[in-house]
Structure 1
């Protein structure tokens, strides 16, 4: 089953010839975003090759602009640079291996966009961890010689506790009703 994005992807190439294969990979990766959110309004992708005179290794930069209701999510994915070669620093900057391949650069950029999109969806759905108030209970039964007791919760449950579980070593000072 292949999902198709309702909104077509607008792919732009800079400093390199347009490629149907690269555009197809961009479309394929963009289609996967529909699994996470089906109300994407626009998707613009810029695939750019760095100027050859700046760096060695023909690095690729990928920028994704994803339109969603009320917001635009942006990923600007650039390669990392290696500055050290066999323990010696040098002026030449070379691109770290993976981003010499345009397909790997596209994959990594869309991976980052998926994470952003998932965060956006969680915020929309209010999938935020609920913080419950600190529990309160009263000592209902106490057995000081045996070193244990029971507390009663507001909903009527009785819970066992041992003297070692009482903070600040105050078990000896506890009374029923505390």
Structure 2
């Protein structure tokens, strides 16, 4: 989970809570992998943290890999906010494909 830096129990705990909250939007999440990387330590702007999240759902792989910030907690928040939007979009698309509008598809209404 931590790359180029020592593991932080506090950061890991915040990440776990945020990952569990994704289940509120989709109970079908199979896996959620997270990496937090300390970027170039010699950068003039100070330390920057890069966050990557990979979520596996039935038939879908979602990922966020472009989130970075000097504050690891802000990078986590922004990454999980982006992943939440992706999960919500994937759930909406799956409902549309299944005819989840409540009206069903033509095939469901008139089976062969």
TM-score (norm 1): 0.52
Larger CA Rg, structure 1 vs 2: 1
Does structure 1 residue 29 correspond to structure 2 residue 23? no
Q: Distance in 2 between matches of 1:33 and 1:116?
A: 10
* Kept after mapping to 1: 8 A contact 2:50/2:66: yes
Task: Give the equivalent residue in structure 2 for 1:38.
Answer: 27
Q: Which has the higher contact order (CA 8 A, sep 6+)?
A: 2
Does structure 1 residue 112 correspond to structure 2 residue 101? no
Task: Give the equivalent residue in structure 2 for 1:176.
Answer: none
- The structure where helix makes up a greater share of residues is 2
* Kept after mapping to 1: 8 A contact 2:33/2:55: yes
Alignment of 1:46-65 (within 5 A): 46-65=35-54
- The structure where strand makes up a greater share of residues is 1
Number of equivalent positions: 99
In the alignment, structure 2 segments of 5+ residues that lack a partner are 102-112
RMSD: 1.8
Q: SS at the partner of 2:92?
A: helix
Q: Distance in 1 between matches of 2:28 and 2:4?
A: 32
